Structure 1
Amino acid sequence: MKLLRILCLVFLFLPGMNAFSQELNAKVTINTQSLGPVDKEQFDELQKQLFDLLNNTRWTHTSFAPAERIDCNFTINLLSKKEPNKYTAELNVTATRPVFNSSYMTPLFIFRDRDVNFEYDQFARLEWNPQNLESNLLASIVFYVYAILTYDFDSFSELGGSPYASEMRQIVAAAQSKQDWQGWEAYKSDLNRYALSEALNDKQLESVRKAWYLYHRKGLDDMVDNIARGRNNIVESVSLLEEAHKAKPMSVLYNIFATTKLDEMGKIMSKTSESEKQELGRRLIKIFPTESDKIDKLKRAK
């Protein structure tokens, strides 16, 4: 189980210990439908380079067994070609996490980035160098690698993803110096990369990340052994969301929680009493006022 990662840190400096494996089991899809007729080989090469980068790069210093690699998907929808080799795109990123002692995979990260622009030359090699960012597409992809790692590690230990949230902030700082790179601007959007990075590094929003740990490690992972205890911890995680919401009622972190967890919470609460569902729904609608459909479905779950 992934909890072994914590123990593996103890052995990192022992002689002869070299049991590292890459962290991601990533799929990459490039959709060119909006561009019309294109050179398919050009984008096959881009897809291959991104696949190799994601799956063959060591992103952390923690040991992952092959079965522990994080399943994730990066889908690039190319929207327009403005000049030779210049594109606008939408990037959709998803990741899942296994629940302990079960075959169930819970959504870990779902994000739609509508503001990616980049240059790509089929004959140029994409290489990741955090000290010298050369591609907005590559910087954006790696930014979301660290977002996935933040959410994954947070789900196994309280605020365990902090080193990777810090990496996100460093990428933002470097990318902001690049002229014409979109998606990194401060305060331009509540949902861009800058906003996500700042939220995951914000002390006032740490309760959201602590709720993530309680929901997953003490909630979902515990339900196999004790359904009631696990479910109670999931309900208790809402108290931490309420705490953060009082301090900062607007944040991209609430959007991500709603997208990944509200439907799942409806299934988890389906066997509880009507009064419990109604009370939880009353609390959730204050945090997620635009998610009335999902919350009404939770309250009616059977």
Structure 2
Amino acid sequence: MRLAFLLLFASTLLRAQSEIKWTVNLNTQQITQTDANVFKTLEQELVNFLNSRTWTDDVFQEEERIEATLFLTLSEATTANGDNEEIIPNRYTGTLAIQSARPIFGTGEVTPVLNYQDKRLEFTYEQFQAIQLSDQTFTSELSSIIGFYAYIVLGMDYDTFSALGGQPYFEQAQQLYNRLPAALLNSGGWTSAGKTNNRYLLLENLLSPRMLPMRRAAYTYHRLGLDQMLTDPLAARQNITLAIQDVQSANQVYPNSALVQSFVDAKREEIIQIYTGATGAEQNAIIEMLSRIDPSKAGSYREIRSGGSGAINRRQAGKR
């Protein structure tokens, strides 16, 4: 009886640990009139919410947890009052940058998976207000935004371990979107109107049949590429080339997509490092493809021929 109880207790403790190991950073330098203690509380509430919630039915060992960092840069929301602007109490705007990484099999290194910036952040928060997320109903703007990105991080991570493995988590993000009230659905961060990158377009990219090559590329690049580098580096690099070809295909049918831009932002330095040791023909092919996919950074990819300057982040990590 005691053994069974201890095993159950240990299992409960393990499941209470989030699959994602979150770091949260708040930049409030633009805040002028709100008590700074409000944001200390907000940061702690975000950390507690993110690191105590479980999002999947899978059990993650400590070394398997996804590493993710959330950067919020906030300012006070204002409204016009005659010729002046008036601060709206407890209302904040700003940007949210999110990054995630996963381990490379058999190494002490991790590789970036998601690198995305949300420039249309807006929410209401009162000090000591608990951040809660329901699977059935809308709770708040802030919890919806944070929950949405947690599902995106999970889905993109799972896509790197199995072909289209992140589908259930992208569908969870869609269900969260569907629970939003009409007023939010018409707001800048969530609206389906226009072509400006926002949460709606990121989710649409991930669920669109047009972007299946992009999702396939995540698996080919990571599981058949990076994870095989130690055992067969030539085949691994060839698979990474195939993945980049898929990225190019996705970019051709869906130009300037949020998902493609997130990929090149996350992988640019890593790709430069990988192809530094490739043949001249491989280098030329990759430089040509990536210059079309990411034209504003074409000069960076030409560094491949000169040895590059990128480096994969070296940190102790395991493999799920």
TM-score, length-scaled by structure 2: 0.84
- 1:60 counterpart SS class: coil
Which residue in 2 is equivalent to 1:109?
A: 114
CA contact (8 A) 1:79 1:90 kept: no
Distance 2:106 2:33 in 1: 47
- Could you tell me which runs of 5 or more consecutive residues in structure 2 were left unpaired when the two chains were aligned: 1-6, 79-87, 309-320
Distance 2:297 2:178 in 1: 33
Of 17, 25, 32, the match for 2:28: 32
Amino acid of the residue matched to residue 115 of structure 1?
A: R
- Which is further off, 233-242 or 37-46? 37-46
Larger radius of gyration: 2
Which residue in 2 is equivalent to 1:252?
A: 258
Which residue in 2 is equivalent to 1:135?
A: 140
Which residue in 1 is equivalent to 2:204?
A: 198
Which residue in 1 is equivalent to 2:248?
A: 242
Which residue in 1 is equivalent to 2:304?
A: 298
State whether structure 2 residue 55 is matched by structure 1 residue 44: no
CA contact (8 A) 1:118 1:181 kept: no
Matches within 5 A, 1:1-302: 18=11, 20=15, 21-36=17-32, 38-82=34-78, 83-175=88-180, 177-179=182-184, 181-301=187-307
- Which is further off, 73-82 or 189-198? 73-82
- Which is further off, 240-249 or 253-262? 240-249
Amino acid of the residue matched to residue 283 of structure 1?
A: M
CA contact (8 A) 2:229 2:237 kept: yes
Query: How far off its partner does 1:197 sit?
Result: 0.5
TM-score, length-scaled by structure 1: 0.89
* Deviation digits for residues 82-117 of structure 1 (CA, Å, limit 9, x no counterpart): 311111121111111111111111111111111111
- Which is further off, 231-240 or 282-291? 282-291
- 1:87 counterpart SS class: strand
Query: How far off its partner does 1:191 sit?
Result: 1.4
* Deviation digits for residues 118-161 of structure 1 (CA, Å, limit 9, x no counterpart): 11111322211243323212211111111111110000000000
* Deviation digits for residues 158-190 of structure 1 (CA, Å, limit 9, x no counterpart): 000001111122222223523474300003344
- 1:175 counterpart SS class: coil
Distance 1:242 1:135 in 2: 38
Distance 1:294 1:134 in 2: 44
Which has the higher relative contact order, 1 or 2, with Cα contacts under 8 A spaced 6 or more apart?
2
Query: How far off its partner does 1:252 sit?
Result: 1.1
- Which is further off, 173-182 or 256-265? 173-182
Amino acid of the residue matched to residue 180 of structure 2?
A: A
Query: How far off its partner does 1:58 sit?
Result: 0.9
- Could you tell me which runs of 5 or more consecutive residues in structure 1 were left unpaired when the two chains were aligned: 1-14
Query: How far off its partner does 1:199 sit?
Result: 0.5
Distance 2:225 2:115 in 1: 20
Query: How far off its partner does 1:299 sit?
Result: 4.1
CA contact (8 A) 2:116 2:262 kept: yes
> Structure 1 runs of 4+ off > 4 angstroms?
15-19
CA contact (8 A) 2:188 2:198 kept: no
* Deviation digits for residues 184-228 of structure 1 (CA, Å, limit 9, x no counterpart): 000334410000001100111111010110000010010011211
Distance 2:25 2:212 in 1: 33
